[in-house]
Amino acid sequence: MAVPETVTGAGLRLGLARALERLAQQRDRINDLNVFPVPDGDTGTNMHLTLAAALAEANLLPAQASVAQVAQAVAHGSLMGARGNSGVILSQILRGVAGGCATHDQMGPEVLARSLREGAEVAYRAVKRPVDGTILSVVKDAAAAAERAAADGRTTAEVLQAAVGEAWDAVERSRELLDVLRQAGVVDAGGFGLAVIFSALVEVMVGSDDIAVPALSRAGSNGARPGPLGVLATEAPASGFGYCTEFSLVGSELEPMEVRARLGSEAEDDSALVVGDPGLMHVHIHTQEPWEVLTRAAELGKIERLKVEDMTTQHHEARLRVGAGNSHEGRLALGVVVVAPGFGFHQLLLGLGAAAVVEGGQGMNPSTEDLLRGIEQAQATQVLLLPNNPNLILGAEQAARVSRHEVSVVPSRNLPQGIAALLAFDPDARLEVNRQRMQRAMGEVHAVEVTRAVRASQYQGGPIAKGDVIAVLDGELVAAGQDLTEVVVAALSRLPIDSLEVVTLYRGTSVQVGDSELLEAKIRARFPNLEVERHDGGQALYAYIISAE
């Protein structure tokens, strides 16, 4: 076929569709490379989800849309769907590209080179302290190569090929520019993902079915690196990595830099990104106290598309996944996959026999793709899936339908139900026997979920002010007030106390250990016949998740 002279709107869409396919193929490899800024093993997944959101927005346009229209839709879709540090930076690269071709129906050599340059510049401006050896270096060097090729009078395809070649060279150089990459014996994951995207664009433009990803060396300038590579070469600090907290901020009249300043010291972290424009911004922050960040953000505008992920748990699971992949051990016959928030819950559930735990909870439901990844991590031929949230049951059933494994959903509606179901699991029994046994166990436990109201409202007990403590018992709001202890005791009073034996408190990140000890004492005094246990759940948003059985 003849190579097109320009990149059209239709051509850009086709190229990004191919890029999405290539990212899906390389996703696990990119995840395994992920050691910077946090070794949480999700860069490939985040870039894939971000590009999927971008392409979905572009596909709403008519077939004859110009390259400027497609690029603008891609930029907006990627901003709304950005996931993780790498996804947010990718969205800013796409935003800059859209700016570079904003007045053009097609991209020729000069416009393509200028658009890549603007993509690099916008991405650099989004990061407070840009670091060499990352996705930023890759896009900067690729843009420079494109500019040189355009200045030499090369065709559009040749300009793009020059950018791709330099992108892969920059990926190879990344380990020598960033100590953490050199120590782990890997290249930068985000840069690798960006080079995959650029390569896919070349595939479509020149009519190739596949341009092979280069076999990057596993050695630096000093020869092969001994020992474990990638995430296996990293350890979590004693304090953990904190929580990756992301959301859209809608309605704020402030500029992104002003929003960053208002969000507190957490926003000073190198991983903190606040991008977009007044009225619609995407916020990405790594913090030990997500509730504090969200409280400040709620004063600036409306929070939408909230996602909070425990990076310490992600790091642990990434190490398990890579280790299992390297061990060549056989698969389990039957395993349980559980959705839960917080490192404490993850450790508890894995200790109780879960084959894999997927990060998620109220307000931060995992996607179908996240669930499918958890199912794969279980390394089991058959899987029982516990969603632990009524809003996730349909998504879990969708994941079960499309998974290549046999998956049965046990429709748990909260974490206490999920824990009860997991305790009833017998790995030697058949899937259907386990499903019925686990479902019966779920009916024998009550759940109290304690959080704060995000807006003023009403319930049967009276008015609720914004910021009040509220308690939800088995899905029904039963108590509200300003004193957390009083609200918890009021909620527990609604239970059939005489038929219960044990109350278990799972403490969230917003609660100090001493405060949970005081609550335990208060419950023991009020209900002397109940046994009370305490655990660190590590969940955001909910001060306590309480099980009663």
Q: For residue 185, which amino acid is it?
A: G
Residues 6+ away with beta carbon under 8 Å from 3? 155, 157, 205, 206, 207
| pLDDT reported for residue 432 | 92
Residue 217 pLDDT grade (very low, low, confident, very high; cuts 50, 70, 90): very low
User: Where is average pLDDT lowest: 11-15, 343-347, 506-510?
Assistant: 343-347
User: Where is average pLDDT lowest: 77-91, 191-205, 345-359, 360-374?
Assistant: 360-374
Residue 368 in this model has a pLDDT that exceeds 50:
yes
* CATH domain 9-214 topology: 1.25.40
Side-chain half-sphere CA neighbours of 39 within 13 A: 27
pTM: 0.59
Residue 116 in this model has a pLDDT that exceeds 50:
yes
Q: What angle do CA 409, 410, 414 make, to 5 degrees?
A: 120
Residue 408 in this model has a pLDDT that exceeds 90:
yes
Residue 51 pLDDT grade (very low, low, confident, very high; cuts 50, 70, 90): very high
| pLDDT reported for residue 223 | 39
Range 243-311 has CATH code 3.30.70: yes
Cβ-contact 357, 338 below 8 angstroms: yes
330-442 CATH, one of 2.120.10.30, 3.30.70.141, 3.40.50.300, 3.40.50.510: 3.40.50.510
| pLDDT reported for residue 477 | 93
332-340/356-359 β-pairing: parallel
User: Where is average pLDDT lowest: 75-89, 121-135, 171-185, 314-328?
Assistant: 314-328
Q: Which residue has the higher pLDDT, 405 or 2?
A: 405
Residue 199 in this model has a pLDDT that exceeds 90:
yes
Residue 232 pLDDT grade (very low, low, confident, very high; cuts 50, 70, 90): low
Annotate 294-358 with three-state secondary structure: HHHHHCCCEEEEEEEEEHHHHHHHHHHHHHHHHHCCCCEEEEEEEEECCHHHHHHHHHCCCCEEE
Residue 226 pLDDT grade (very low, low, confident, very high; cuts 50, 70, 90): very low
Beta bridge partners of 7: 107
As a whole number, mean pLDDT of residues 99-128 equals: 95
Question: Is it true that the peptide bond before 62 is cis, omega within 30 degrees of 0?
Answer: no
**What proportion of the chain, given as a percentage, has pLDDT over 70?**
91
As a whole number, mean pLDDT of residues 384-392 equals: 92
pLDDT digits (tens, 9 = 90+) for 501-547: 899 999 888 888 888 899 999 999 999 999 999 888 888 788 999 99
| pLDDT reported for residue 140 | 97
- Farthest CA pair distance, the chain: 85
Residue 190 pLDDT grade (very low, low, confident, very high; cuts 50, 70, 90): very high
CA distances from 28 to 10, 435, 531 (A): 29, 30, 45
| pLDDT reported for residue 137 | 96
User: CA Rg, the chain, in Å?
Assistant: 25
